[in-house]
Amino acid sequence: MTRRPAALSLTALSLAMALWLTVPAAAQEEQTTAPFAYRQLDDPAKEQQAQALMETLRCLQCQGQSIADSDAPIAGSMRSLVRERIAAGEQPEAIRGWLIERYGDYVSYAPQLTSLTWPLFALPVVLIGLAALLLRKRFRRGEAR
Amino acid sequence: MIAELGLAALWMAAALAGLQLLAGILALTGRGASLGGIVRPVAAVQGVLALIAFLCLIAVFATTDLSVKLVAMNSHSLKPLIFKVAGTWGNHEGSMLLWVMVMSLAGGFVALVERRLPEPTMLATLAGQAFVSLGFYAFLLIASNPFDRLSPVPEEGNGLNPLLQDLGLAFHPPTLYLGYVGLSVAFSFAIGALVTRQVGPAFARAMRPWVLGAWIFLTLGITAGSYWAYYELGWGGWWFWDPVENASLMPWLAATALLHSVSVLASRDALRAWTVMLGVVAFSMSMIGTFLVRSGILTSVHAFAVDPQRGSFILALLAINIGGALTLFALRAGTVTEGERFALVSREGALVFNNVMLSAILGIVLFGTLYPLVAETMGAKVSVGPPYFNPMGALFAVPMLVILAVGPMLRWRRDSFARVGRSLVIPAMLVAAGIIAMVVVGGVGLLPTLGFALALGLGWASVLPLKGRNLRRTPLPIWGMVLAHFGIAVSLFGMSCESAFSVEKLVAVKAGDATAVGPWQIKLDAVEPMAGPNWTALEARLLVRYGDYGKVTQLDPQSRSFWAPPQQTSESALLTRWNGQLYAVLGGEADDGRWQLRLWWKPFVPLIWLGGVLIALGGLLALLGRVASDLRRIFAREKIAYRRGRMADLQRAQEGEEP
């Protein structure tokens, strides 16, 4: 049973890294295009903000991993983008909005309330109602005796 | 040859399952009462045949018989033997055979051992078990034959995903499957009891050890899976709300609810319909989990649609089994009376409340897992992840944890909070202190704060049921309950601390450079190449020290390259102290000779899994206690029967002498 096999990203990675000789080159390329993929922001508060946001953004290449826990190149460049924008003073939700606009709802692990996703948000209300009903019915009858 | 033997055993087992179903039904309807006698032996032989089939598959994997397609696709001659064997169930066909094997063995075991229930109920139970097995045999033989041959025979196999070449993962799926399949027995008991209208304490007592056993394995399976993801994926996360994880969590939630309601039914004869319903739901969740993982639907709805045979097959099985069971339940629910009544404030009342909360969490997880699939069929891709599951789950988990602290101290039938109020003062103060402490620390989210505070209160409250008891005479199931509830507090404490206090450090350092994360001083000593049986690696030598005066310890994280299939993995290095874990990962090399290191200090993180193990141990104590008292009862009954027999003999002898 494979848990989160990340097949796509790993094939992409393994292509680049099949030979040890190519590793430094790959790493170099990654670093020039995505300076903050593996580098934290100096301001701890901002880094924390960035980290919290990254944990809720989906790596588009992997299966079921956030960009905060993926080695895929695209996750690296998205991390870099998030950190750069946070460093520039942008609000996390604005960055999420920008990414959703660009890549679609799929990129955000936090579902946004839309005409499509409203059942997700209606569910807890329904469940609370059902639970209350069930418990009330159960104990009303119990006490009537 | 071995492969053909396995296939033959599988076919025969399937035929016997058919016979078991048919004989059971005929005996029940009264047309073939004489057939009732063969059901138990047939069930036992069927289990043995399934075991033989599985052993044959292990044999072809162990010898890397590449003429078998499954071996060629998933194994490699250079793999260590342990992973060749574990590779047997590291693929679709093998894991389904494992599932069926465990299920048939469990059925055979029930057939041989369980003698407490009325015979018709047992026949219906075994027929139900045969019905479910038959579906899975058909699935194996028609849509995923593990013994298919391959021609021409390839020179070498494709190998096993390196992420799966790990001891933890070798035993993770079998553990989960034991849990899933234990629930199938509970399901069959529920069906048997419904068919013969025998829902009562006897049924609950027969079902309870299976539910307990299944629940123990599920708990261990989830705990092991979480730890595996934590150290193997190399990013320090331990739960991702990934659909595959949810697939194992959902049966656990249902089994937890079932476990508690079956106890109420066994000792109080209450909650009859609710217990049967949960028995059906728990196994349904196991099957839904298997469907999600095995059908390929998770990669994408479209991937499923391209090769729909397997997925459709499991979906059909799912619909028949769940639909059939629910229909039966709907037909019979009216005739199942509710059983004994109880007040809102009572042990039963607390258990019912928590059962409802567990069911609501199950609803959230199920809906959140399936909704992206539904949305995809409507043409839109959405993701549902931690930002949804965490708060929505907590909405129901927090009240549940509060009641969990109170419930075990309440009396059966009717009680008042005033009576137990005094003993809850300290837990309540601990909760308040926890919240205040987190607010003072500052910057901690709402959920970790609540989790931390509740863990403190629950930790204290969970041992209160032992107060005033003679500890030597306290029954094992009570110890089990206390241990399991304490385990929940321990695990929750670990989760909250990990989430609130983890420190992360990403650095690029040259050999000889030092850095720090949290209280740790870390120096990169060297990076050297290494070779294993089927991989090469770069290994970093890190010298680490806790605080300014701690002992210097060496840590060796690796970056491994497997060549069959070609893939790279990070082998993280962990250093455990009593108050947390240091987590180190070696990344790539930069152009200037510096190495990427990912370092985390995670306070109290091991408590998450320690708590999981405690929960499972608690289950084990309860199981041992129940089985021991069952055995005592059987011995006592046999003794009485023996004495009665002796008396009758003596009397007859006397009567014979008199005339």
pLDDT tens sequence across B268-289: 888 888 899 999 999 999 988 8
Domain for residue A69, yes or no? yes
Domain for residue B275, yes or no? no
Q: Name the residue among A14, A69, A105 with its Cβ closest to that of B233.
A: A69
Domain for residue A64, yes or no? yes
pLDDT tops 60 at residue B69: yes
pLDDT in tens, A5-17: 333 334 433 433 3
Domain for residue B514, yes or no? yes
Q: Name the residue among B234, B240, B342 with its Cβ closest to that of A142.
A: B342
A48 and A18 belong to one structural domain: yes
Task: Give me the torsion for CA of B54, B58, B60, B66, rounded to 10°.
Answer: 110
**What pLDDT is attached to residue B620?**
97
Domain for residue B526, yes or no? yes
CB of B509 closer than 8 Å to CB of B524: yes
**pLDDT band with cut points at 50, 70 and 90 for residue A60:** confident
**CATH number of the domain residue A84 falls in:** 1.10.8.640
Q: What is the mean pLDDT of residues B236-257?
A: 92
Q: Would you mind telling me the total number of residues written for chain B in this entry?
A: 659
What number of H helices and E strands is found in chain A? 6, 0
A52 and A70 belong to one structural domain: yes
CB contact under 8 A, B385 and A58: yes
Helix (H) or strand (E) holding B221: helix B201-232
Domain for residue A77, yes or no? yes
Q: Name the residue among A27, A108, A138 with its Cβ closest to that of B590.
A: A27
Q: Name the residue among B161, B235, B561 with its Cβ closest to that of A2.
A: B161
Domain residues for A143?
Answer: 113-145
pLDDT in tens, A117-138: 899 999 999 999 999 988 887 7
**What pLDDT is attached to residue B473?**
87
**pLDDT averaged over every residue in chain B:** 89
Domain residues for B547?
Answer: 503-604
Residues of B in contact with A107 (CB under 8 A): 383
CB contact under 8 A, A124 and B353: no
CB contact under 8 A, A105 and B382: yes
A70 and A133 belong to one structural domain: no
**What pLDDT is attached to residue B484?**
97
**pLDDT band with cut points at 50, 70 and 90 for residue B231:** confident
A136 and A86 belong to one structural domain: no
B580-589 β-sheet, strand order: B503-509, B595-603, B580-589, B573-577
A82 and A96 belong to one structural domain: yes
Q: How many CB atoms lie within 10 A of CB B654?
A: 9
Domain for residue A2, yes or no? no
pLDDT tops 50 at residue A144: no
A86 and A103 belong to one structural domain: yes
A103 and A62 belong to one structural domain: yes
Closest CA to B618 of B482, B456, B474: B482
Domain stop point among B161, B184, B209: B161
A138 and A121 belong to one structural domain: yes
A136 and A68 belong to one structural domain: no
Domain stop point among B161, B182, B212: B161
Chain B contact for A80 (CB, 8 A cutoff): no
Choose the mutation target among B242, B246, B300, B568 for the interface with A, i.e. most A CBs under 10 Å.
Answer: B568
pLDDT in tens, B349-365: 899 999 999 999 999 99
Chain B contact for A65 (CB, 8 A cutoff): yes
- Write out the E strands in B547-655: 552-555, 558-563, 566-571, 573-577, 580-589, 595-603
Domain for residue A1, yes or no? no
Number of domains in chain A: 2
The complex's ipTM works out to 0.81
Domain stop point among B130, B161, B192: B161
Q: Please give the DSSP secondary-structure letter assigned to residue A106.
A: G
**What pLDDT is attached to residue B229?**
85
Q: Would you mind telling me the total number of residues written for chain A in this entry?
A: 145
Domain for residue A28, yes or no? yes
Number of domains in chain B: 2
A84 and A45 belong to one structural domain: yes
Residues of A in contact with B341 (CB under 8 A): 141-142, 145
CB contact under 8 A, A106 and B505: no
A82 and A126 belong to one structural domain: no
How far is it, in rounded angstroms, from Cα B106 to Cα B113?
A: 10
Domain for residue B6, yes or no? yes
**pLDDT band with cut points at 50, 70 and 90 for residue A141:** low
Q: How many CB atoms lie within 10 A of CB B280?
A: 23
CB contact under 8 A, A69 and B236: yes
How far is it, in rounded angstroms, from Cα A108 to Cα A97?
A: 9
Residues of A in contact with B596 (CB under 8 A): 27, 38
To the nearest whole angstrom, how far is the Cα of B154 from the nearest Cα of chain A? 23
A12 and A74 belong to one structural domain: yes
Domain for residue B283, yes or no? no
Q: What is the mean pLDDT of residues B302-317?
A: 71
Ramachandran assignment for B131, one of left (phi > 0), alpha (psi -120 to 50 degrees), beta (any other): alpha
**What pLDDT is attached to residue B120?**
87
SS3 category, B109: helix
Span between the terminal Cα atoms of chain A, in Å: 51
Domain for residue A137, yes or no? yes
How far is it, in rounded angstroms, from Cα B107 to Cα B130?
A: 8
Name the H helices within B30-150.
36-62, 69-74, 81-86, 92-113, 119-138
Beta strands B552-555; B566-571: pairing state: unpaired
Chain B contact for A129 (CB, 8 A cutoff): no
Buried b (16+ CB within 10 A) or exposed e, B456-489: bbbbbbbebbeeeeeeeeeebbbbbbbbbbbbbb
CB contact under 8 A, B383 and A18: no
